[in-house]
Amino acid sequence: MTGKIAFQGELGAYSHQACRMARPNLEALPCRTFEDTIEAVRKGDAELAMLPVENSTYGRVADIHHLLPNSGLHIVDEAFVRVHINLLAVPGTRLSDVKTAVSHPVLLGQCRDFLAENSIHRVTGADTAGSAKMVAEDGDASQAALASELAGEIYGLDVLARNVEDQGNNTTRFLVMSREADLKRRGDAGMMTSFVFRVRNIPAALYKAMGGFATNGVNMTKLESYMVDGIFSATQFYADIEGHPDDKNVQLALEELEYFTSQISLLGVYPADTKRR
């Protein structure tokens, strides 16, 4: 029986594309929300979850950092997916026929120049693949969708224009989540460790906590803060560092961090994607 990897969105979404790229041997399982995606793995309906965490153009994906610490899942891989945006329409449509383009607001914002040059009006849709599905069902040649080429393949749409995004380096980082942690692997491109922590309520606690990474030569690639439970005084930090907790310098840095924190939760230890560099 084929295993499954869950993702949020319709078939043909960029998360579906990430599933195909990172786990081509698994069947993609579409889910309505990020919470449903996580729950599918927790219940055993899927072996893995594919979750987007940040985009090079638009920053972090809302809500994900709040969901990860309480998900009960572990990060076992990361995947960097180049976001190519395509104009899709019903078969036989010409570019000059298109009057409106429907998609997620983020994608519409990433294609302003192309849409303006072709006098195409922007229409907000629920998501990218869902917009492609709607265009296919409506059969209106004046309406197109901005989505992945995979969505066009799934819903039988023609690609009128490829790679119409304004930014040439638009990339989304995904995390692959599992019920079980795997701390034994080592990646050819190095290892990453992700965790969340809260600092103790003492002066300069964050500054002192970060000092251990600098003095031990551990590269911190990401540090983000966000409120906990809607309270301004309760702040949690999400961090990615290069290395494995078994590495001596990482071990020393985490021990120093622990001294200045009230809580640390390890989210995952996983091979760095070769596209990271």
The residues that are catalytic are: 172, 174
Compute the distance between CA of residue 11 and CA of residue 25 in angstroms, rounded to an integer.
16
Pairing status of strand 143-147 against strand 171-178: unpaired
Compute the distance between CA of residue 235 and CA of residue 230 in angstroms, rounded to an integer.
9
- Kindly state the DSSP code that residue 95 receives in the 8-state scheme: G
Compute the distance between CA of residue 149 and CA of residue 17 in angstroms, rounded to an integer.
9
Burial of 255 (0-12, 13-18, 19+ CB in 10 A): exposed
| Phi and psi angles of residue 244, each rounded to the nearest 5 degrees, phi first | -115, 145
Consecutive H or E run containing 172: strand 171-178
Decide: 174 and 155 in contact? Cβ < 8 Å.
no
| Phi and psi angles of residue 269, each rounded to the nearest 5 degrees, phi first | -130, 120
